Amino acid sequence: MNVHQAEAFPRKQPRNHDKRSINRSERYQGIEQRAKNMGIKLNDERMEAIDFVLDFYEHCEDCRNARQLMKVMDQEFADKGGKKYLYRLFPKGPLSQIHELADLPDLGHQTDQGFGTSY
């Protein structure tokens, strides 16, 4: 297995998304403040998931696809329990809470009111 196959998505050079460039130090300060306001304790496991989404956001072509991102995260964190692990970290929906914490735009179909599902 080569390096690219070992990862759920290849972290190549960031794509040139003018509105999506991420200044990590500023982003982390905002994440810490929003987590405090939401009553979420940031630990290494939560930060690993948040960093994964930030990496994905910088390198993706279609960042608005919640289903695709959840599938990639399920693969990335499969050794820890996949979706179940992520929902234990973020009970209100890993993508919803991570996007809110990181102040990222909402994803398409991030919440399905008909089924009561929140990614």
For residue 34, name the pLDDT band (cuts at 50, 70, 90): very high
Residue 41 has pLDDT above 80, yes or no: yes
Q: Is residue 13 a part of any domain in this protein? A: no
Q: Is residue 5 a part of any domain in this protein? A: no
Residue 96 has pLDDT above 70, yes or no: yes
Q: Is residue 57 a part of any domain in this protein? A: yes
Q: Is residue 65 a part of any domain in this protein? A: yes
Q: Is residue 8 a part of any domain in this protein? A: no
For residue 79, name the pLDDT band (cuts at 50, 70, 90): very high
The structural domain count of the chain equals 1
- Any idea which of 67-71, 73-77, 84-88, 115-119 has the lowest mean pLDDT? 115-119
**Whole-prediction pTM:** 0.74
Domain that holds residue 79: 23-118
Can you give the length of the chain in residues? 119
Q: Is residue 12 a part of any domain in this protein? A: no
Taking alpha carbons only, the member of 62, 60, 50 closest to residue 103 is 50
Buried b (16+ CB within 10 A) or exposed e, 63-91: bebbebbbebbbebbeeeebeebbbebbe
Q: Is residue 112 a part of any domain in this protein? A: yes
Percent of the chain scoring above 90 in pLDDT: 45
Q: Is residue 9 a part of any domain in this protein? A: no
